[in-house]
Structure 1
């Protein structure tokens, strides 16, 4: 804690001002001093500011006390703090109360006018295997001008239909949605615009959109290497296996575990069976069925 922050904390306690306590509590939370922040927020509540239960909810959630966070968010809502719906939904989802999360996300969108609520609802419905409900929720967020929802909705519709008329929406969403940019690149490849596809993927990779690394690696690897196992329909063209390997490794570092499979294929074609097995195993452990099948093929029938 900086000397300035410590001085402000002491002054806030001495003043008895709820506003001052909330302000310094928020700064303490930003500094990772959650216990002190919680004390400030609870003191502000004792001074009559019940809406500050919202801040208490955020703090105890950070401290690993989700059940208390649920209670705090409910108290904030009772005090009229509708912004708590979104955070309540997230905690309920983490706790496995999916019906409660659906209700909270819906109310975040409808009562708090927060399109992020509809987007979270869309993602949850998608995970539940309800794609139509997911698209309907994402459409509500997109209609409110929520750019991440525009990108995600365009991506889902592209994956479902392959409709090239989705290009403008994919372009609009690509700024904030890596999936939309990756799908835009796939559309460009399918319509014969390989240089533009590569430029989009490279731009996305530089922006930290991890979804771009796998198709970028595939584009460098070419059709022949990944025949029968590719994930993104790479187009024919110049092959640069060193660049493909770099892209796959960057994707792995960024958290895209599907890159293990394609890196393994590349290593296997180069004669590096041990390295390929290691990559297939890593992908299989992460739940990638394609990597698991490749690992079984590599080990042969005796592996069972």
Structure 2
């Protein structure tokens, strides 16, 4: 059962000052998707693609563009609709999920398949594969690659779900010539309960929202000495949500070097923090859909009706 250390108890303060006001971004048509790609942040509409760029008038502007390079799909045998995580340095350069299975009938990500295996490819071209026990799956779409402890080797951040105890944060890497689980958080404690990590960063804690569809705590772990710390709860009793049930998009939260932003439970307010501190709570007059991005010094959000908005970061 997941246990949580006493966290930052500060109650986030509502702010509506001009430096935190919500600005609507003009788009060619209603936005169907916000895409975080190698070349930057883009939107997709029925009229094609537009690149999101910082601009003075509305913090962010959408500039029409041609075709964009899509994420790399998984190789044969990979998870349907999954993609390959890639980076240019470190021992692990690519990772993806494989061995699609129906053995965990939760469907939180919009289909009936989860993954039974994790695959990693290293800088020297070696491919490693790890299979989970038959009562577990990777309830995820794309692994996350980061050097969490700053030691020069890459960790693979995943979500593993167990048929009895639900989801847990699971950290993998190359250990003595094999792909192995290096550390894991405690499971939520009940089947069909899930968590969704925020974007990961090198030499930084891991953050995740627990039970985002019900509204849950935002937790933070440090990965040190091949172990995860006891989780720290951020925002006191505030409940967060960074995923819409059934969505294939897991990016309803953002993070840069020090700042992070996550919607509140009903996704009609945005909580913005710096490291362990809550900076402000911004009420919204729309429901955040399943896409967010950081562009320049602004958070970009798509509404459930397809409009695009920006908020300046501190």
Please state which band the TM-score falls in when normalised by the shorter chain.
under 0.3
Larger helix fraction of residues: 1
Larger strand fraction of residues: 2
Could you say which structure has the larger radius of gyration?
Answer: 1
TM-score after normalising by structure 2 = 0.25
TM-score after normalising by structure 1 = 0.26
